[in-house]
């Protein structure tokens, strides 16, 4: 599914640019969106020649292109990142701007940016009968939007992205990053890094995936997302926090001198066993449904 940017993702008023907090929030929001879109190849951003001209060739340049303190550093970064993300569409049918409810307030270029945005929604989404992601500007409140026109009988309700972190909810981790054999542990590591990002936390430990653990999960078909999410969660908690977590139920197995935590709840419990090796967590085994007591 493709994306359309709210004009305020790329365009900011001069007044907001002069406000340091709003300026920094605008730049972070824009660059974080482009980073997630490009790094994880989630989508492409529909774009038109008219919007491109406003961005780069209009006499009234966006403030981030005029500010001497920022343009030399920021402009090349935005140009490269957005160049990778965008996909052009053309108005071969001479379609006019569509309508939207509720209407976005956008005064950039005296409303011209909003005009071309609504034209783009008509060309790229309504006319194609193709749903899209609608990525909102940094100061927008998340809500439902409806797009419609006089020449089509249906309405469009895009999937709204209000914060850059929300892109990760549409990334199929188990399709892209699940190992197919024991030599693909790096795939699982990438999935965990993305899960840390979704949690907005970092791992507290260095960790290692044993061959036995990888051999166990390679053949797993169910609960893959739970394995990724709860393994990542365990790595962001101290030993005491993990023991108190009502889902993980992390516990020490004295007879085996190793630990285990829960991935799925009863009656279909699945668990991961691990141990500490020189302050590093080493994941040892995954016990699937029906193997609950095998690791004891």
Claim to verify: residue 157 and residue 236 sit in the same structural domain: no
Confidence tier at 207 by pLDDT (50, 70, 90): very high
Res. 294: pLDDT tops 60: no
Claim to verify: residue 42 and residue 177 sit in the same structural domain: no
Q: What average pLDDT does the segment 142-165 reach?
A: 94
Res. 296: pLDDT tops 60: no
Residue 46, domain member (yes or no): yes
What are the CA-CA distances from residue 37 to residues 10, 68, 144, 161, 270 (Å)? Answer: 15, 28, 22, 12, 33
Claim to verify: residue 260 and residue 178 sit in the same structural domain: yes
Tell me 156's DSSP state.
B
Contacts for 16 with CB less than 8 Å, ≥ 6 apart: 22, 23, 26, 139
Q: What average pLDDT does the segment 25-40 reach?
A: 96
Residue 293, domain member (yes or no): no
Cis omega (within 30 of 0) for bond into 267: yes
Claim to verify: residue 233 and residue 117 sit in the same structural domain: no
Res. 292: pLDDT tops 60: no
Residue 295, domain member (yes or no): no
Tell which of 117, 145, 167 closes a domain.
167
Q: What average pLDDT does the segment 146-157 reach?
A: 92
Residue 296, domain member (yes or no): no
Res. 22: pLDDT tops 80: yes
pLDDT in tens, 59-103: 777 888 887 777 788 889 999 999 999 999 999 999 999 999 999
Res. 122: pLDDT tops 70: yes
pLDDT for residue 3: 98
Claim to verify: residue 188 and residue 149 sit in the same structural domain: no
Q: Total structural domains in the chain?
A: 2
**Is residue 241 exposed (0-12), middle (13-18) or buried (19+ Cβ within 10 Å)?**
middle
CATH of the domain at 270: 3.30.2310.20
DSSP string, 116-145: HHHHHHIIIIITTT---EEEPPTTPPP---
Tell which of 150, 167, 184 closes a domain.
167
Residue 120, domain member (yes or no): yes
Claim to verify: residue 19 and residue 154 sit in the same structural domain: yes
Residue 292, domain member (yes or no): no
Res. 42: pLDDT tops 60: yes
Claim to verify: residue 142 and residue 205 sit in the same structural domain: no
Contacts for 168 with CB less than 8 Å, ≥ 6 apart: 36, 40, 194, 197, 198
Residue 258, domain member (yes or no): yes
Cβ 3 vs Cβ 50: under 8 Å: no
Res. 285: pLDDT tops 80: yes
Tell which of 167, 194, 229 closes a domain.
167
Claim to verify: residue 103 and residue 59 sit in the same structural domain: yes
Among the ranges given (97-111, 208-222, 235-249, 282-296), the one the predictor scored with the smallest mean pLDDT:
282-296
Claim to verify: residue 7 and residue 40 sit in the same structural domain: yes
Confidence tier at 267 by pLDDT (50, 70, 90): confident
Average pLDDT along the chain: 92
Claim to verify: residue 37 and residue 138 sit in the same structural domain: yes
Radius of gyration of the chain (CA): 24
Q: What average pLDDT does the segment 200-222 reach?
A: 95
Structural domain containing residue 210: 172-287
Residue 294, domain member (yes or no): no
Calculate ∠ Cα 170-171-175, nearest 5°: 130
Helix or strand (DSSP H, E) at 283: strand 280-287
Claim to verify: residue 149 and residue 197 sit in the same structural domain: no
Confidence tier at 290 by pLDDT (50, 70, 90): low
User: What tokens does 151 get?
Assistant: 């020449």
Claim to verify: residue 122 and residue 35 sit in the same structural domain: yes
């Amino acid at each position: 599914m493709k994306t359309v940017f709210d004009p305020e993702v790329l365009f900011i008023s001069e007044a907001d640019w002069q406000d340091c907090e709003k300026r920094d929030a605008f730049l972070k929001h824009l660059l974080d969106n482009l980073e997630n879109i490009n790094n994880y190849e989630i989508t492409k951003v529909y774009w038109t020649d008219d919007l491109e001209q406003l961005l780069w060739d209009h006499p009234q340049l966006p403030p981030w292109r005029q500010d001497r303190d920022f343009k030399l550093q920021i402009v090349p970064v935005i140009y490269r990142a957005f160049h990778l993300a965008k996909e052009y569409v053309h108005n071969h049918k001479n379609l006019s701007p569509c309508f939207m409810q509720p209407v976005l307030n956008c005064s950039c270029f005296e409303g011209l940016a909003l005009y071309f945005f609504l034209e783009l929604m008509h060309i790229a989404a309504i006319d194609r009968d193709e749903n899209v992601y609608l990525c909102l500007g940094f100061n927008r409140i998340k809500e439902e939007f409806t797009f419609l026109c006089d020449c089509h009988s249906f309405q469009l309700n895009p999937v709204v992205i209000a914060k850059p972190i929300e892109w990760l909810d549409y990334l199929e981790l188990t399709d892209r990053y699940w190992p197919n054999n024991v030599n693909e542990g790096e795939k699982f590591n990438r999935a965990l890094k993305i899960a840390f990002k979704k949690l907005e936390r970092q791992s507290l430990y260095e960790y290692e995936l044993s061959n036995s653990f990888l051999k166990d999960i390679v053949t797993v078909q169910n609960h893959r997302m739970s394995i990724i999410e709860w393994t990542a969660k365990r790595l962001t908690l101290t030993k005491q926090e993990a023991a108190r977590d009502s889902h993980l139920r992390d516990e020490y197995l004295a007879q085996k001198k190793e630990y285990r935590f829960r991935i799925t709840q009863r009656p279909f419990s699945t668990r991961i066993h691990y141990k500490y090796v020189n302050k590093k967590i080493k994941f040892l085994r995954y016990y699937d449904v029906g193997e609950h007591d095998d690791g004891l």
